[in-house]
Chain A
Amino acid sequence: MTMQTNYVADAILDARPRPDSIKNKFFTGSKITGYFLLGIWIVFFVSIIWFLYDSYDADYMARYAPKYLYGFLTTIELVALSVVFGGLLSLPVAFGRMSKVKLFNRIAFGYIYFFRGTPLLAQLFLLYYGFGQFRHFWQDMHLWWLFRDSWSIALLSFTLNTAAYQAEILRGAIMNVPKGQIEGAQSLGLPKFVTFFKIVLPQALIVALRPYGNEFILMIKGSAVVSIISVYDLMGETRRAFSQTYDFQAYIYAAIFYLVCVEIIRRLWDVIEKRLTRHLRRDNS
């Protein structure tokens, strides 16, 4: 069948020229603003590159490049370990929060409220300096090795912190699974254990995927505060380099490291999400 090409309106009316007000203008206000703003960015980036080039120093590089790399690995190690441990710890917290037993519910609520309501820095100080005050008690308990070392304290406080956030993510995702799914499993006679692991959790994790990615990125960014209790992560090495040389390029290199790292994770997460939710998309792209 051929498309109909003759319209009545065409026969009656001649096409009008576009009104002046919506003619394609070469200089519109928004175009000028846009190019102006982009110009500022270009000047900004060029001057940063020029600054890095100008202050390039082979000695500086040889001295600090391995330290930066080491700091970067420390950051990644800290974040990866605390996210995994926090994920494990978040399971009992999330189940406590969903429990019908009032005591468990209250405890989990208090835990989450405390760790989400206070700054990471305050938690870190409380654990490092505050708990460090009871040195003799920890020595009697043979736990002083844990509270003496700033790295293990950083790991502990990050684990506790991210467990609270991850518990909320997990709880939200599990509550999001429609009730009919559980009822369907029950009517098939599946035991509770199987229902949870084979039906509820896979659907919940898809919902939780994006918040988990955000939490991961937030942890990478948040991990910078450990430099304050003298853990030499990427930020710690940067601050040390700056305090030794007063050379501002230290901070610029750190910014580049963080920017690239977060951007890679963000892209990676997009790919993972696309792969895991491919059964939910209508188009087969």
Chain B
Amino acid sequence: MDYLTLLSYGDTGWGDEIAHGVLYTVSLGVCTLPLGLFMGFFLALGINSKEPSIQRAAKIFTIIFRALPELLTLFIVYYGGQILLNLLFQKVLGTSIEVNSFIAGIIALAFVFSSYASEVFLSAFKGIPQGQYEGAFALGLPWFKTMRLVIVPQLIKLALPGLSNLWLVLLKDTSLVSVIGLTDTMYATGLAARNTKEAFLFFALACVMYLVLTFISSMVLQSIEKRGRRGELS
């Protein structure tokens, strides 16, 4: 069969399925990113905290999710979440519930992302001089405003290179969700490969798709980084 027919849109080709898969991969990454950043930031704050109990609680989280394989985290969140929610719902409401695998995927990826992101934020926190906190305190800013107006704007610039690395890792990790049946790039190309017996073509296409996504995101991240440096003397 002609390769172009195989890759075309419509009933005979797999182009539309794969395009949907790529879109799914991107949306999974984009949905995970804010959750992961948010959790990672608060984990870093926790590890930086003066209160030892908060420190310990945050550290346990990062140790666990940095040591577990992403695939295992995914299974634990997916199946474990299912069992736990079913248990709760049967006790309380007497009905069972199906865990949405998209949400399970997002949560698992966000756990992994946030525990690595906390490390990036921590080293970025170290780059902010103590005087910035003291200055904000002297101006009478409350904690939240100190964070929002003084610390975070500087933190983002310091954390950006590490976070862009993590984004690329996240994009690659999303390929694992095909195992719990989400129709991402890997799933779509795998389906096409099984149905057409053209495994090499479709898996090579999957690799190319990920390379394109990586390329586009590194371009975008570079321009953001450049924008962040526009205040500095070159």
Point out residues on A near B: beta carbons under 8 Å: 28, 30-31, 33-35, 37-38, 40-41, 113-114, 117-123, 125-126, 129-134, 217, 220-225, 227-228, 235, 238-239, 242, 248, 251-252, 254-255, 258-259, 262-263, 266
Task: Give Cα A222 to B69, complex, Å.
Answer: 6
Chain A residues, Cβ within 8 Å of B76: 251-252, 255
In chain B between 54 and 70, which residues have their CB closer than 8 angstroms to a CB of chain A?
54-58, 60, 63-64, 66-70
Given A122-B206, A133-B197, A222-B69: A34 and B211 interface contact (C-beta under 8 Å) = no
Chain A: minimal CB distance from B5 (Å): 18
Report the minimal beta-carbon distance from B118 to chain A, rounded to whole angstroms. 14
Q: How far is the CA of A224 from the CA of B49 in the complex (A)?
A: 34
CA distance A174 to B21 in the complex (A): 40
B contacts with A: majority SS = helix
Contacts of A222 in B (CB 8 A): 69
Say yes or no: A34-B57 contact (C-beta < 8 A), given A122-B207, A225-B71. Answer: yes
Give bound CA distance, A113 to B66, whole Å.
25
Report whether A34 and B53 are in contact in the complex, using a CB–CB cutoff of 8 Å. Answer: yes
Cβ contact of B176, chosen from A130, A225, A262, A266, cutoff 8 A: A225
Q: B34 an interface residue at 8 Å Cβ cutoff? A: no
26 residue pairs A–B, Cβ–Cβ below 8 Å: A34-B56, A37-B46, A114-B211, A119-B172, A119-B176, A122-B186, A125-B203, A126-B200, A126-B206, A129-B203, A130-B200, A133-B198, A133-B199, A220-B69, A221-B70, A223-B69, A225-B71, A228-B179, A235-B72, A248-B79, A248-B80, A251-B79, A255-B72, A258-B69, A259-B63, A262-B66
In this complex, the member of B55, B60, B69, B179 whose beta carbon has the largest number of chain A beta carbons within 10 angstroms is B69
Confirm or deny: B154 has a beta carbon within 8 angstroms of a beta carbon on chain A.
no
Extra contacts besides A119-B176, A248-B80 (13): CB < 8 Å? A35-B53, A117-B211, A118-B172, A118-B206, A125-B199, A129-B203, A130-B200, A132-B199, A221-B68, A222-B69, A248-B79, A255-B68, A259-B68
Report the Cα distance A239→B215, complex, angstroms.
34
Size band of the B side of the interface? 35 or more
B186 touching A235, Cβ below 8 Å: no
B164 proximal to A (CB < 8 A)? no
- Which residues of B are at the interface with A, using a C-beta cutoff of 8 A? 46, 49-58, 60, 63-64, 66-72, 75-76, 79-80, 83, 168, 172-176, 178-179, 186, 189-190, 193, 197-204, 206-207, 210-211, 214-215
Q: Is the CB–CB distance between A262 and B67 below 8 Å?
A: yes
In Å, the complex CA distance between A38 and B210 comes to 40
Q: Let me know if A34 and B186 touch, CB within 8 A.
A: no
Which one of B71, B173, B193, B207 lies within 8 Å of A129 (CB-CB)? B193
Give the A-B contact count at a CB cut-off of 8 A: 142
A259 and B67 within 8 A (CB): yes
Contact B54 A121 (CB under 8 A): no
In Å, the complex CA distance between A34 and B203 comes to 47
Q: Which of A113, A131, A220, A225 contacts B200 (CB 8 A)?
A: A131
CA distance A123 to B178 in the complex (A): 15
In the complex, which of the residues A35, A123, A227, A255 contacts B207, with contact meaning CB atoms closer than 8 Å?
A: A123
Contacting pair B211 A235 (CB below 8 A): no
Cβ B210 vs Cβ A117 within 8 A: yes
List residues of chain A with CB within 8 A of the CB of B70: 221, 224
Contacts of B173 in A (CB 8 A): 119
Would B207 and A118 count as touching, CB distance under 8 A? yes
Report whether A130 and B204 are in contact in the complex, using a CB–CB cutoff of 8 Å. Answer: yes
